[in-house]
């Protein structure tokens, strides 16, 4: 059942890996080639062929499409992480790394061809203008209809985003009445921290979703906050973190490691060895540290986990990581696009390169490796089955290279939550739709609950709410009749987590999710030992 859910989410995950995980070499620009790298008085056969097609071919063609196809075909003969980025995608990718954009500050989804506001950024432009969760946006700037028409979410985002302090008018339906709202666009922060709270007295929990330009700054703010609340131990969750900027991961490692310890080094056939070392006293060099990883933890996440494992500083818990040990550098192209080219490999302090094999594999086969075809359990008690080569940490513990970071403590996926029925539900908007309706329906009652822990203890959603769930499911052509009682229980708890997100943001979601998360529970056991 585990594979069913991964087959749904892995294509999305791999796309994210291809975009963010490959940015681990973004900071190497000053150590490599100059801006005149492409200067040359000679033309090669590829340039000659493109030029001949452009000037002599019988029909009119778009030469840009031929150039892109040529580039992509050329890169397909290299490694899975060297990619071409079209001009139209460069800005969006950079905005995500920078950590903010200018817009109105809402999260939305399409329900029955209608743009519905799922949540509103606290203190953001939309909240200040009076936009509420549940509002249905039907017009933008009075004339652009976005309800009941075929329109993509990218088009909607472009309509709602714009320059700072510019205004946008939206028409919404709320309580079956139309209402016009004018919003002044502003800077919308995109935090790389999903959650940060005290999971138990003296134990903090932080979840990082990627390593962007402000990740270290955001991490330090939360680390200091938790320490003021009495944190002595830390659980750092890197599951689902596909990587990002290497420097950010190195700076965070510096807070956990003492002296001038090596964090990671990079080296390639045309790139000299470059070492990243600790530079200052860390804020959390003592105290138990647990790192959570899984098959979607990649690149910079693996750098951080690998360094802490090599120095015996942290206990790694979860499942084997993705296995991306290649470093990319971004080069701007004359057409406005960019080339992310693999220029070196990174190595953990002990010299481990954890890049998994991609020789004689298509990108699809390479992606499917993360489906967990090799059971993680097989490595648990059988040394001979461990991937080679092996290395010894300062304490004498054996760790391994070649194919991701193998956790110190393996925790397999809970198959109860990954049945075919549940997996199909996760592939739709159904859960968000139900959670939003229940939240609006019970808003007055829910407003009296002041913490996620208190909400967890509440009997909501109840069995009575199941009738509404079934009604909405039927309208979405989803049958719950074949769901077992355990599956229905899982379904209701998934809805409850999303209601908690409405009430308390991402922190609320993870405070509930972690109550039953096997990996988190194992981490808390380890803290107490």
The residues assigned a catalytic role are 299, 310, 324
Strand, coil or helix: 278: coil
Three-class secondary structure assignment of 369-429: HHHCCCCHHHHCCCHHHCCCCEEECCCCCEEECCCCCCCCEECCCCHHHHCHHHHHHHCCC
Q: How far, in Å, CA of 91 to CA of 10, rounded?
A: 25
Q: How far, in Å, CA of 248 to CA of 239, rounded?
A: 17
2 contacts 415 by C-beta, under 8 angstroms: yes
Residue 118 CB neighbour total at 10 angstroms:
20
Q: Strand 289-293 to strand 271-277: parallel, antiparallel, or no bridges (unpaired)?
A: unpaired
Q: How far, in Å, CA of 469 to CA of 466, rounded?
A: 5
180 contacts 129 by C-beta, under 8 angstroms: no
DSSP state at residue 99: T
The structure tokens 């030469």 sit at 63
- Tell me, rounded to whole angstroms, the distance of Cα 329 from its chain centroid: 20
DSSP state at residue 57: -
Q: How far, in Å, CA of 227 to CA of 24, rounded?
A: 29
Q: Strand 338-347 to strand 326-332: parallel, antiparallel, or no bridges (unpaired)?
A: antiparallel
Q: How far, in Å, CA of 320 to CA of 372, rounded?
A: 9
């Amino acid at each position: 059942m585990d594979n069913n859910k991964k087959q749904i989410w892995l294509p999305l995950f791999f796309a994210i890996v291809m975009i963010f995980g490959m940015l681990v070499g973004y900071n190497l620009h000053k150590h490599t080639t100059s801006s005149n790298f492409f200067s040359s008085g000679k033309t090669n056969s590829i340039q000659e062929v493109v030029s001949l097609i452009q000037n002599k071919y019988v029909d009119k063609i778009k030469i840009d499409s031929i150039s892109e196809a040529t580039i992509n075909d050329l890169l397909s003969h290299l490694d899975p992480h060297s990619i071409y980025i079209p001009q139209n995608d460069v800005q969006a990718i950079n905005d995500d790394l920078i950590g903010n954009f200018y817009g109105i500050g809402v999260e939305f989804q399409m329900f029955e061809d209608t743009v519905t506001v799922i949540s509103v950024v606290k203190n953001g432009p939309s909240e200040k203008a009076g936009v509420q969760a549940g509002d249905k946006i039907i017009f933008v700037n009075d004339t652009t209809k976005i309800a009941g028409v075929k329109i993509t979410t990218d088009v909607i985002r472009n309509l709602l985003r714009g320059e700072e302090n510019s205004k946008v008018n939206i028409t919404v339906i709320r309580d079956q009445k139309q209402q016009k709202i004018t919003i002044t666009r502003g800077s919308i922060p995109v935090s790389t921290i999903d959650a940060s709270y005290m999971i138990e007295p003296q134990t903090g929990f932080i979840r990082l979703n990627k390593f962007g330009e402000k990740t270290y700054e955001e991490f330090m703010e939360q680390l200091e906050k938790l320490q003021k609340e009495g944190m002595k131990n830390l659980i750092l969750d890197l599951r689902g973190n596909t990587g990002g900027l290497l420097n950010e991961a190195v700076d965070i490692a510096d807070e956990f490691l003492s002296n001038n310890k090596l964090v990671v080094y990079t080296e390639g056939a045309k790139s000299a060895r470059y070492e990243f070392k600790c530079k200052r006293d860390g804020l959390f060099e003592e105290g138990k540290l647990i790192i959570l990883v899984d098959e979607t933890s990649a690149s910079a996440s693996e750098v951080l986990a690998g360094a802490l494992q090599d120095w015996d500083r942290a206990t790694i818990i979860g499942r084997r990581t993705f296995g991306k040990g290649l470093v990319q550098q971004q080069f701007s192209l004359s057409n406005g696009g960019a080339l992310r080219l693999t220029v070196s490999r990174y190595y953990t302090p002990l010299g481990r390169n954890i890049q998994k094999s991609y020789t004689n594999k298509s990108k699809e086969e390479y992606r499917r490796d993360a489906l967990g075809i090799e059971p993680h359990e097989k490595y648990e008690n059988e040394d001979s089955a461990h991937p080679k080569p092996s290395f010894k940490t300062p304490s004498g513990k054996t760790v391994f290279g070649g194919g991701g970071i193998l956790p110190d403590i393996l925790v397999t996926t809970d198959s109860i939550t990954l049945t075919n029925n549940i997996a199909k539900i996760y592939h739709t908007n159904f859960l968000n739709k139900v959670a939003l309706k229940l939240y609006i329906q019970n808003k007055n009652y829910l407003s009296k609950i002041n913490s996620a822990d208190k909400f967890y203890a509440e009997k909501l959603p109840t069995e009575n709410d199941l009738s509404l769930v079934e009604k909405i499911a039927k309208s979405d052509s989803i049958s719950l009749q074949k769901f077992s009682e355990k599956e229905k229980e899982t379904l209701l708890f998934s809805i409850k987590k999303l209601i908690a997100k409405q009430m308390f943001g991402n922190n609320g979601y993870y405070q509930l999710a972690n109550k039953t998360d096997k990996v988190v529970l194992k981490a808390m056991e380890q803290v107490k030992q």
